[in-house]
C-alpha cells in the first residue's frame, strides 16, 4: 500500500532561529493616470457612435479629412495662447535641443499641414476635418482632462459671414442627433484696430483704484501683458469686476459691426438658438471678429455646468503669421468626452440608414441658407440627403449628385427663393418639375410610394 504524503503547513519563524515565515507577495495593480479617461462597455459604444457621427457630419458638409502629428515644434503654439503659460504644455526633448510639445489643440497643426502640402496651382481655400487626441497639463477636474479627443473643422479661404453660420449650424445638427440641447454663446472681437482701442479702455478700467487689488494673482500678472485674458478668468472676484467692465461691442468698426450683424441674421434664419455674450473672448489670441461656444442647457433653457462642449471662431490673420498668404479662415472644435457626458439615454441612440439619396443643389448665399434648412428638415424626416455647400457651380453639384448615385436633385436658386418653390430633377431621366417649397416632403413621399409599388409589381411578375 502506497504511503500517503502528509500535508506540511507553513513554517513560522521562531524567535532566535534561522527559519523564515512563508510570505505571500501582493502585486499592486497599475492605475490610470490622473486626468485621462477610459471608454469601456456602454461608454465605449457611445464614444464610437459620437466619433462616427462626427465623421458622417464632416462628409455631409464636404470636409476633407486630414491627419496631423501629435508631436509638433513648440514654436507652432508659443504665440497662440492668451495665458502666456508654458506650464500647460507637455514638452518632449527634440534633436539638437529643439523644444517640442504634444499638441494642445488641432488648429495650428492643420494650418501648418495646409501650408506645407498645398501646391501653388491649387485654389486658395479648403474645408478640413481632423479627429484625434490633444494634451493639456491642467488640473483634472470638472470636465477638464489632460488627454482628450477633439473633432476639429476648419474652413480656409472663405470670408463670408455665412461661413460662421453654416459651421455653427452643422455643430447644432450633431448635438440634435445626440439629443443634447445646447445654446450658442457668441461675440465679436472686431479687427486688430478695434481690439487695440478696446484694450486701452479695458486696461484703464482694471487699473482704477480699488479694482486691481480685487483681481486674482494670475490676472494681476496679465494686467500689463495680455489684458483680454482677464475677461476669460473664472475667479469669482474677477467675474464680479467683469460685469462693470466696458464691452468690446461698443468699439467695433463699421465693417466688423456689419459682419457680426449679418452672421446673427443668418443664425436667425437657420433658427439656431444663440445668446450674445459681450465678454466672450476665448482662450487663444489669434481670433478676430466672431467667436462662439456651445453650452449644454436643461429643458427649461438653463445652462448646465461650467464647461462648453464645443467652441471656435474666425482667425483671418493666423495663416499670414505662419508665413502664408493673407487668407481668411474660421474653425470649430468639439470635445468628445464632454459631449459624451451630456448624453442622457446612452442606450437609446440608433443609427438609421437609407440608400435613396436626394441631393440638394443651390446657387447664391440666400439659396444656401434655404437649402441648409431644407437639408435638415428632410434629414430629420428620415430622408437620405446630401449636398455640397463648398461648391458655387450648379454643373459641379449636378456632377457630384450623379457620381454618388442620387435618385433626385432638388435645385434652389434666386428665382426659386422668390417664388417659394423648388426645382426637382429626376437624375435618371433628366425630367424636371417645379414643386411648392412647403409641399416638397409630400412630393418625395409620393415618389417613394410609386417606386415601392413598381418594385412590388416586378417581384410579383
Tens digit of pLDDT for each residue in 444-456? 888 877 655 555 5
Note whether 268 and 288 are same-domain residues: yes
For 18-40, what is the mean pLDDT? 76
Does 35 map to a domain?
no
**Residue 450: which H helix or E strand, with range?**
helix 440-460
Number of Cβ within 10 Å of residue 83's Cβ equals 17
Q: In terms of Cα–Cα distance, which of 283, 279, 274, 327 is closest to 159?
A: 327
Domain assignment of residue 68, yes or no: yes
Cα 443 versus chain centre, distance: 35
pLDDT value at position 332?
96
Supply the pLDDT for residue 283: 72
Q: How far apart are CA 435 and CA 227, in angstroms?
A: 56
Say if residue 267 is in the same domain as residue 397: no
Residues 53, 147 within the same domain: yes
Listed residues 326, 346, 366: the one ending a domain: 346
Average pLDDT over residues 29-34: 86
Tell me the β-bridge partners of 436: 421
276 lies in the same domain as 181 = yes
Provide the number of structural domains found in the chain. 2
Least confident segment among 40-49, 78-87, 387-396: 78-87
All three cell numbers of 4: 500517503
Same domain, 342 and 285: yes
In the numeric block, the cell 458638409 is attached to: 61
Residue 333 lies in a domain: yes
User: Residue 450: what pLDDT?
Assistant: 64
Assigned domain for 30 exists: no
The tens digit of pLDDT for each residue in 204-259 reads: 998 888 888 888 888 888 888 788 888 888 888 888 888 899 999 999 999 999 99
Can you give the CATH number for the domain in which 367 is found? Answer: 3.40.50.800
* In a domain? residue 449: yes
Does residue 91 fall inside a structural domain? Answer: yes
Q: Determine which of 94-98, 264-268, 307-311, 367-371 has the lowest per-residue pLDDT on average.
A: 94-98
| Residues 131 and 278 placed together within one structural domain of the fold | yes
Is 357 in the same domain as 321?
A: no
Reading the block at residue 320, the C-alpha cell is 499670414
- What's the CATH number where 101 sits? 3.30.930.10
Q: For the ranges 14-23, 109-118, 214-223, which has the lowest average pLDDT?
A: 14-23
- Mean pLDDT value of segment 302-329: 91
Listed residues 282, 313, 346: the one ending a domain: 346
Residues 137, 185, single domain; the answer is yes
pLDDT of 42 higher than 70: yes
What residues pair up with 291 in beta bridges, in sequence order?
A: 187, 313
Please identify, among 346, 362, 395, the residue that sits at the C-terminal boundary of a domain. Answer: 346
Residue 170 parent element (H or E) = helix 161-177
Residues 288, 336, single domain; the answer is yes
CA atoms in the 13 A half-sphere facing the CB of 221: 8
- If one counts every other C-beta atom within 10 angstroms of the C-beta of residue 302, the result is 9
pLDDT at 449: 74
How far apart CA 344 and CA 120 sit, in angstroms, is: 48
* pLDDT-based confidence at residue 66 (cuts at 50, 70, 90): very high
Shared domain check, 161 and 73 = yes
Residue 14 lies in a domain: no
309/21: higher pLDDT? 309
Domain that holds residue 381: 352-460
- Bridge partners of 311, per DSSP, are 293, 333
| 62: its cell numbers | 464636404
Q: Indicate if 258 and 398 belong to the same structural domain.
A: no
Instruction: Let me know if residue 242 belongs to a domain.
Output: no
- Residues 87, 145, single domain; the answer is yes
3-state secondary structure of 66: coil
pLDDT on residue 352: 42
Closest to 443 measured CA to CA, from 417, 413, 423 = 423
Contacts of residues 433-442 at CB distance under 8 Å and 24 or more positions apart, as own/partner, are: 437/374, 440/374, 440/378, 440/410, 441/377, 441/378, 441/381, 441/383
Instruction: From 265, 60, 58, select the one nearest 162 (Cα to Cα).
Output: 265
pLDDT band at residue 354, thresholds of 50, 70 and 90? very low
- State pLDDT tens for residues 141-164: 777 889 999 999 999 999 999 999
Residue 30 has what pLDDT?
Answer: 87
pLDDT given at position 453:
56
Amino acid at each position: 500500500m502506497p504511503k500517503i504524503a502528509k500535508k506540511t503547513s507553513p513554517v513560522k519563524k521562531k524567535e532566535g532561529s534561522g527559519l523564515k515565515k512563508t510570505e505571500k507577495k501582493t502585486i499592486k495593480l497599475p492605475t490610470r493616470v490622473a486626468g485621462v479617461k477610459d471608454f469601456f462597455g456602454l461608454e465605449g459604444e457611445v464614444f464610437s457612435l459620437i466619433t462616427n457621427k462626427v465623421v458622417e457630419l464632416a462628409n455631409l458638409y464636404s470636409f476633407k479629412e486630414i491627419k496631423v502629428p501629435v508631436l509638433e515644434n513648440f514654436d507652432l503654439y508659443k504665440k497662440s495662447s492668451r495665458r502666456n503659460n508654458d506650464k500647460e504644455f507637455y514638452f518632449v526633448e527634440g534633436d539638437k535641443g529643439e523644444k517640442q510639445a504634444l499638441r494642445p489643440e488641432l488648429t495650428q497643426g492643420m494650418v501648418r499641414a495646409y501650408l506645407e502640402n498645398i501646391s501653388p496651382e491649387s485654389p486658395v481655400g479648403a474645408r478640413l476635418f481632423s479627429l484625434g487626441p490633444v494634451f493639456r497639463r491642467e488640473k483634472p477636474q470638472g470636465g477638464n482632462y489632460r488627454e482628450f479627443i477633439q473633432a476639429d473643422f476648419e474652413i480656409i479661404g472663405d470670408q463670408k459671414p455665412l461661413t460662421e453660420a453654416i459651421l455653427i449650424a452643422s455643430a447644432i445638427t450633431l448635438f440634435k442627433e445626440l439629443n443634447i440641447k445646447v445654446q450658442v454663446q457668441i461675440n465679436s472681437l472686431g479687427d486688430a484696430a478695434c481690439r487695440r482701442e478696446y484694450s486701452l479702455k479695458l486696461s484703464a478700467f482694471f487699473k482704477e483704484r480699488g479694482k486691481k487689488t480685487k483681481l486674482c494673482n494670475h490676472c494681476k500678472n496679465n494686467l500689463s501683458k495680455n489684458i483680454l485674458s482677464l475677461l476669460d478668468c473664472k475667479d469669482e472676484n474677477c467675474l464680479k469686476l467683469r460685469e462693470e467692465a466696458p464691452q468690446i461691442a461698443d468699439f467695433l468698426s463699421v465693417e466688423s459691426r456689419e459682419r457680426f450683424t449679418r452672421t446673427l441674421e443668418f443664425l436667425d434664419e437657420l433658427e439656431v438658438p444663440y445668446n450674445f455674450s459681450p465678454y466672450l473672448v476665448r482662450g487663444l489670441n489669434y481670433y478676430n471678429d466672431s467667436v462662439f461656444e456651445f453650452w449644454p442647457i436643461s429643458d427649461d433653457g438653463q445652462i448646465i455646468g461650467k464647461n462648453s462642449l464645443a467652441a471656435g471662431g474666425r482667425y483671418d490673420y493666423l495663416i499670414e503669421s505662419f508665413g502664408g498668404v493673407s487668407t481668411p479662415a474660421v474653425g470649430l472644435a468639439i470635445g468628445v468626452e464632454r459631449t459624451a457626458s451630456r448624453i442622457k439615454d446612452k442606450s437609446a441612440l440608433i443609427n438609421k440608414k437609407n440608400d435613396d439619396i436626394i441631393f440638394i443643389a443651390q446657387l447664391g448665399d440666400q439659396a444656401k441658407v434655404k437649402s441648409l434648412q431644407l437639408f435638415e428638415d428632410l434629414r430629420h424626416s428620415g430622408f437620405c440627403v446630401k449636398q455640397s455647400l463648398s461648391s458655387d457651380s450648379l454643373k459641379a453639384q449636378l456632377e457630384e449628385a450623379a457620381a454618388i448615385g442620387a435618385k433626385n436633385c432638388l435645385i434652389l436658386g434666386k428665382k426659386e427663393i422668390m417664388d417659394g418653390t423648388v426645382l426637382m430633377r429626376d437624375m435618371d431621366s433628366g425630367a424636371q418639375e417645379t414643386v411648392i417649397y412647403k409641399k416638397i416632403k409630400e412630393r418625395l413621399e409620393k415618389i417613394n410610394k410609386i417606386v415601392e409599388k413598381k418594385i412590388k409589381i416586378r417581384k410579383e411578375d
